[in-house]
Amino acid sequence: NAGVTQTPKFQVLKTGQSMTLQCAQDMNHNSMYWYRQDPGMGLRLIYYSASEGTTDKGEVPNGYNVSRLNKREFSLRLESAAPSQTSVYFCASSLWTDVPGGYTFGSGTRLTVV
Amino acid sequence: QQPVQSPQAVILREGEDAVINCSSSKALYSVHWYRQKHGEAPVFLMILLKGGEQMRHEKISASFNEKKQQSSLYLTASQLSYSGTYFCGTLRAGAGSYQLTFGKGTKLSVIP
């Protein structure tokens, strides 16, 4: 049981380059999320997908786009990377029924933009 | 709006107890607690719902005071394995809200 799988684990980009972070879960969760984590800032929500076919902005969406490809996969795209996007990115998923379920996080992607 | 956690950091000796608080200025529907060890992903500990009971995970328990919009995490007889950063995540009351907002974290260090 893999849980939430993120790729890649590490990435270095030059300013202006683009890339897509991949995330897949095998727990049949309906909701998926992308967070970024910066020192002293905690986890901040970038985008989320409450269910397949829907996506919504979180707290810090500028400079990012997402795609909920199917129930399992939720990708995050940086169209033109900036040094301010240097961070650790976590994908998470959860099962929402009448009540919110606990989040399962992927192992993270450490992104450096130079 | 980001919940406020206190203290920001705490050092304990094995066997000591600690309390971590998480407060919000908004009406809350639920509170999550997570633990993150250095270089790893956050791990879910427990969830507290409005009107629900106190929850427990091993020797860690938590409560949710709806009137104060505050949750407290109680670590009893701490073990070395409890070291890490603890995050609360709050879900605001209101239909259709799926945004879990995390606090900045409380770094807990347990020493022998």
Q: What is the pLDDT of residues B20-35, one digit of tens each?
A: 999 998 878 889 999 9
A96: pLDDT strictly greater than 70: yes
Nearest residue on chain A to B91, alpha-carbon basis: A100
Q: What was the pLDDT predicted at B93? A: 64
Report the residue of B64, B100, B106 to disrupt the A interface, i.e. the one with the largest count of A CBs within 10 Å: B100
Report the residue of A47, A88, A104, A105 to disrupt the B interface, i.e. the one with the largest count of B CBs within 10 Å: A105
Q: What was the pLDDT predicted at B96? A: 59
Signed CA dihedral, B47, B53, B57, B59: sign only: positive
Segment A86-114 mean pLDDT:
92
Query: How many pairs of residues across A and B have Cβ atoms under 8 Å apart?
Result: 58
More confident position, A58 or A85: A85
Segment A97-104 mean pLDDT:
81
In this complex, do A105 and B46 lie within 8 Å of one another by their Cβ atoms? no
Q: What was the pLDDT predicted at A76? A: 98
Q: Say how far apart CA A33 and CA A2 lie, in whole Å.
A: 17
In this complex, do B101 and A106 lie within 8 Å of one another by their Cβ atoms? no
**Could you tell me which residues come within 8 angstroms of residue A98 by beta carbon, excluding any fewer than 6 positions away?**
none
Q: What was the pLDDT predicted at A97? A: 74
B-contacting residues in A 35-94 (Cβ below 8 Å): 35, 40-45, 48, 50, 56, 58-59, 90
Q: Say how far apart CA B95 and CA A17 lie, in whole Å.
A: 39
User: Does an H or E element contain A43, and which?
Assistant: strand A42-49
B51-110 confidence digits (pLDDT tens): 767 777 778 899 998 888 899 999 999 999 999 999 999 987 665 566 789 999 999 999
CA A112 to chain B, closest CA, distance in angstroms equals: 16
